[in-house]
Amino acid sequence: MRPVLVLTHVPYEGPGMIAPGLDAPVRVRTVVGTADPALPDVAEISGLVVMGGPMDADDDRGHPGLAAERRLLAAAVEADVPVLGVCLGAQLLGMALGAPLLRRHGTEIGFAPVDVHHDDVVLGPLGSRPTVLHWHSDAVDLPPGATLLASSDVTPVQAFRAGSALGVQFHLEVDASMLELWLGTPGLVGGLEDDQVEQVRLDGARVLPTLVPAARKVVQLFAEQVRTRG
């Protein structure tokens, strides 16, 4: 079976519980600092997962590998390769498909609900108004021809479907141990007050026992698409 390529941008925003749920060979790469990275052709992969990161999705000058990621995302959708973009990954996916990035559109950090507008073959297990983990200030518009799947008051495009690709602005990969890692990472919590950090921790203890099993089902459905491609 061809591997699933997972693109990461910083060490603390890895694939989390996505990778073990794929039931496929996984290749994790970080290419954000390389202007011309040697990325595989889409014919060589069975799926593509692009994770989050603190950089702006259009900051090609500071992070020249982002342009190569967007090209690969566009090629994957064109070739009908299953794609999952998470947070920054969703923004890169949206830009790859022609949507503008909305810098500093609105900050969402912590657990809060999103409204689901359309059923999706992969996102369905989350339900109609799931409480999910947000950690972003940038957003992306809906790409031309894409289907809006979920929104929040702050972020009108929380999830979208474009052919073989699913973009989610929120974080499906985080379980309790990964959340604790994030809450101890200065680059993530440096702008938060101690009581805000503690509130995220408390909300995680309340929400994750329900959210994690649903998110694992989402990953399983994405994995089924990957296995179909083989």
CA dist., res. 117 & res. 156, Å (int): 11
What pLDDT is recorded for position 63?
97
Give the tens place of pLDDT for each residue, 131-161: 999 999 999 999 999 999 999 999 999 999 9
What pLDDT is recorded for position 149?
98
What pLDDT is recorded for position 204?
98
Q: Where are the beta strands (DSSP E) in the chain?
A: 4-7, 26-29, 47-50, 83-86, 101-102, 108-113, 115-116, 131-136, 139-140, 147-151, 159-162, 165-168
CATH number at residue 199: 3.40.50.880
pLDDT at residue 230 tops 90:
no
- Which residues are catalytically annotated? 87, 171, 173
- Which residue reads 């052709």 in tokens? 41
How sure is the predictor about 187, in pLDDT bands with cuts at 50, 70 and 90? Answer: confident
Give the tens place of pLDDT for each residue, 55-103: 999 999 999 999 999 999 999 999 999 999 999 999 999 999 999 999 9
Q: How many domains does the chain have?
A: 1
* Tokens coding 23: 């039931």
pLDDT at residue 191 tops 90:
no
| DSSP code for 170 | S
pLDDT at residue 190 tops 90:
no
Domain that includes residue 125, residue range = 4-229
